[in-house]
Amino acid sequence: MLVLTPTVLLAACAFDLAHVTQIPTQLRATADRSGFELQEEVKVNIGLGYTRVLKKGTRWLFVGRIAQGDVYRTNDQVLTLEASNIHEAYIVVSSGTLVGFYLPVEKSFSLLQETRSLPMKELPRQ
Amino acid sequence: MRNALKLVAPLAIAVVVAGCATSGLKYSDAKGPAAASDPNLGRIYMYRTAIVGLAVQPEVKINGEVIGRATPKGYFYVDRPAGTYEITTTTEVERKLSLTLDKGQTRYVKLNISFGFFIGHVYPELIDTDAALKDIKDLQYTGQ
């Protein structure tokens, strides 16, 4: 019984060990850019063994800026980060490179370990 | 032994069927619109396809408010104002999905089941509309 109890406790805790690393940040909503269309599929390793695919042809609309880059969202596909919990995510782009994700509910930034260049075609301004 | 099986098999089937959504309207037969009727609201569908872990049917909460249960082969929905939401399910652990909702938007959340230590975990996952519509078409309504 003495051996079993810590084992059970540890196992129960282990279910909640994995978290998406986040830095609180402030989004400055602006409308000085329109957005872009992704020209190729981009596969992204988001850590903890999970990958996400940004689909070819998806249109990403400019939302605003955070300290780490420009924030874009899309209605063309679902994008989430995943660990023990799942968080909807927008992408953060700096100089044409995907550098991380903005979590709109948590209002935080999650850094991408392997940044990815994005083949983009600018959308005309509305 | 054969006689015992003859007795047990129908009972087992009855138990399985009783645990699933069987009485509500099928999604594909539902006449109502998929989107919220009030243009100021968005709609979030919650559904579970898996029969595995039949006995595990936790409550589903949105921002802490109970809105339904993760019934196998069932779906339900809630209409809410645009904003940010957290959908949670709790078995031996709590699992959470955070998402945004716009006016007039329809979102789909699949209630998946995974292995746990004592009992399975149900975790909510945001799903692309095309994939969700394939998943949900044969499920039955379990809402109020």
CB A87 within 8 A of CB A105: yes
Q: In the predicted model, is pLDDT for residue A2 greater than 50?
A: no
d(CA A76, CA B47): 21
∠ Cα A20 A22 A28 (to 5°): 135
Question: How many residues are there in chain B?
Answer: 144
What is the distance in angstroms between the Cα of B7 and the nearest Cα belonging to chain A?
A: 37
Instruction: Please state, as a whole number, how many other Cβ atoms lie within 10 Å of the Cβ of residue A79.
Output: 23
d(CA A120, CA A106): 27
What is the distance in angstroms between the Cα of B40 and the nearest Cα belonging to chain A?
A: 18
Number of CB pairs, chain A paired with chain B, less than 8 A apart: 49
> Is B117 within 8 Å of A8 when comparing Cβ atoms?
yes
What is the distance in angstroms between the Cα of A104 and the nearest Cα belonging to chain B?
A: 7
d(CA B107, CA A45): 25
> Is A16 within 8 Å of B93 when comparing Cβ atoms?
yes
Chain A contact for B115 (CB, 8 A cutoff):
no
> Is A77 within 8 Å of B128 when comparing Cβ atoms?
yes
d(CA A72, CA A32): 13
Chain A contact for B98 (CB, 8 A cutoff):
yes
d(CA B119, CA B116): 5
Our count of domains for chain B comes to: 1
pLDDT, tens digit, for every residue of A65-110? 999 999 999 999 999 999 989 999 999 999 999 999 999 999 999 9
Look up the domain containing B113 and give its range.
Answer: 2-141
Task: State residue B83 phi and psi, 5-degree precision.
Answer: 165, -165
Question: What is the per-residue pLDDT for B19?
Answer: 66
Question: What is the per-residue pLDDT for A48?
Answer: 83
What is the distance in angstroms between the Cα of A5 and the nearest Cα belonging to chain B?
A: 13
What distance lies between CA A103 and its chain's CA centroid? Answer: 7
User: What residue segments make up the domains of chain A, in order of their start?
Assistant: 19-122
DSSP B1: -
Chain A contact for B29 (CB, 8 A cutoff):
no
Best to test chain A binding among B61, B63, B117 (most A CBs inside 10 Å): B117
Q: In the predicted model, is pLDDT for residue A1 greater than 80?
A: no
d(CA B142, CA B53): 18
Show pLDDT as tens, one digit a residue, over chain B (144 residues). Answer: 455 545 444 444 444 445 676 678 889 888 666 788 899 999 999 999 988 877 889 999 999 999 999 999 999 999 999 999 999 999 888 999 999 999 999 999 999 998 777 778 899 999 999 999 999 999 999 987
d(CA B124, CA B63): 13
